[in-house]
Amino acid sequence: MKSPRFVLSVVLLSLSTLAFAHSDAQKSFDKLQTLAGSCQGTDDGDPLQVWLRVTSMGNALIDEMKSTGPENPITMFNVEGDRLLLTHYCDAGNRPRMVGKIAPDGKTVEFDFLDVAGSTQPGHMRHRTFNIIDANHHTEDWTYLLPGDKPEHAHLDLQRTK
């Protein structure tokens, strides 16, 4: 039989590890929430409008985009347990999910692919990075995987308008 001290130390260590992981996810989410508002910018030179809005009593962040073309994707961010999740409702008809984390510099939140619902035949989002330059300016880098696993990259440069 294990000593009560040993069991207690294992439980406390587990809880502190969970609390640290959760706080890292929450810290990343809090950083993204600072982007709330409307932005104008470019997607590799093409005009773009973006609205970021905190919703659900602070438990979710919605990102809506409108370009000059027919594209109008929506992305939702939320903390689930010890992970910051991104769900991208893509114009390609699928919903990739990614897990995010904040970089040590506190200015970059990077998302890596977790899974996808729906067909990946037309391609799907694979990676997304937010680089926060200052309170009114951020960039985003996206990687979209085309059929045949060919990556396509996009660079968004966004300025807050409100």
The pTM for the full model equals 0.83
129: domain CATH number? 2.40.128.20
Bridge partner list, 63: 52, 75
39 C-beta neighbours (distance < 10 Å), count: 23
DSSP 123: -
Number of domains composing the chain: 1
User: 55-66 pLDDT, tens per residue?
Assistant: 999 999 999 999
Q: Which residues pair with 159 in a beta bridge?
A: 40, 137
- Domain hosting residue 42, numbered range: 4-160
Q: Report residues of the chain scoring pLDDT below 70.
A: 1-22
Select from 80, 120, 72, 129 the least CA-distant residue to 96.
120
Determine the pLDDT at residue 5. Answer: 56
